[in-house]
Amino acid sequence: MLRVMVLALLVALAGCHRQANAPSDAPTGLTVEKGDGRVTVRWDELPGLTYWIFFQAGSSVEARSPGVPLIFDAHSPRVVAGLANDIEYAFVMNATYQDSPGGPSTPVVTAVPRLAGATWTSGAPIGSPPQNLNGVVFGAALSRIVAVGDSGTLLAGDLNYTSTSPPGVTAWTQATSVPTGFASDLSSVATSGSQFIALGTDGSVVTSIDGTAWTSPGGSIASGGARMNSLAFGLVASAATYVAVGNGGNIFMSSNLVAWNPAVSNTTSDLYNVSFPKDAFIATGANGTLLTSTDAVTWVPQSSNTSMALRGSTVSGFAGHTPRYPVRRRWAGGRGRVQ
């Protein structure tokens, strides 16, 4: 008898449960912002609803179509990654309430992902008064960006891909601590993977493991008064190596940021930039000066086929193809702005 009563109670409870009604309106405010191999989907999110994103390559897509990729329980903004650049994708959304069927769908919105660097957004001035910003670097380990500039300017911002104000970061903040009396103009900043390293035009060096608290490693570059312009980190025979370059062909190298040894650059031209894009250091400077080194000690002049000042270099290419090394001819600086 007891089992019969329990069974009857369960049947009665099941009969009382009814599926919730679907939302009567489609989600509003759907936009799709294109990025590099990804897009950012935004909409007006309302409490209590569960949102679905349906997407596929092409100019059209329908919700709930068989085989169409979907994202369940999405929240705005939602980054959709793993897309191919220069291919059009179509996106549509609907929503459910509790366990209801899907409600009406939004109009289809399309976007074409593109390579990074195709579009730039100007950030707001930082500081009062704003200072010239001379270098920026991304530290992947902390997902943090550090920018440096004149008068000891040290700024850190956490990477936030979906942030629009300020673009790309959660917020830019000033350094929380610096060595006593430090106010050098900073010309460059680099990362070793475990720390940030900033270089002063006077040869001073400061380091930070988080981009906000900065200390002196205990040494500086004796450049004889020559302005120091750029610093890079690289691995030479698996050993950490730092290289700094400056005016008058000055090149210095260090394994610990404390003791700096001069290298023979074979030039008296001002050197504006040094980098370690792949397997070797590359230094560029005035009058088309282009130097390379695999050990940071011996520097070999290369022909750049230009007399214009070279301000930077990088590497491009992919598996199975010979690397190429583009160089920058003009300085793209901004007064107190991060882009």
Which CATH number fits the domain that encloses residue 173? 2.130.10.10
Domain match, 89 and 155 both: no
CA distances from 73 to 44, 54, 78, 274, 324 (A): 14, 12, 10, 47, 44
For 139-194, what is each residue's pLDDT tens digit?
999 999 999 999 999 999 999 999 988 888 999 999 999 999 899 999 999 999 99
21 in any annotated domain: no
210 in any annotated domain: yes
- Counting the structural domains of the chain, the total is 2
213 in any annotated domain: yes
The range of the structural domain enclosing residue 76 comes to: 29-111
23 in any annotated domain: no
Q: Domain with 87 in it: what CATH number?
A: 2.60.40.10
Mapped onto helix, strand or coil, the DSSP state of residue 152 is: helix
For 82-106, what is each residue's pLDDT tens digit?
999 999 999 999 999 998 999 999 9
Mapped onto helix, strand or coil, the DSSP state of residue 2 is: helix
Give the helix ranges, DSSP H, for the chain.
2-16
- Percentage above 90 pLDDT, the chain: 77
Domain match, 68 and 145 both: no
Domain match, 237 and 301 both: yes
Domain match, 260 and 317 both: yes
Domain match, 146 and 106 both: no
Burial of residue 181 (number of CB atoms within 10 Å: 0-12, 13-18, 19+): exposed
Q: Where does the pLDDT of residue 248 fall: very low under 50, low under 70, confident under 90, or very high at 90 and above?
A: very high
Burial of residue 17 (number of CB atoms within 10 Å: 0-12, 13-18, 19+): exposed
Strand order in the sheet with 78-81: 31-34, 38-42, 78-81
For 21-80, what is each residue's pLDDT tens digit?
999 999 999 999 999 999 999 999 999 999 999 999 999 999 999 999 999 999 999 999
Domain match, 217 and 292 both: yes
**Strand partners of residue 92:** 54
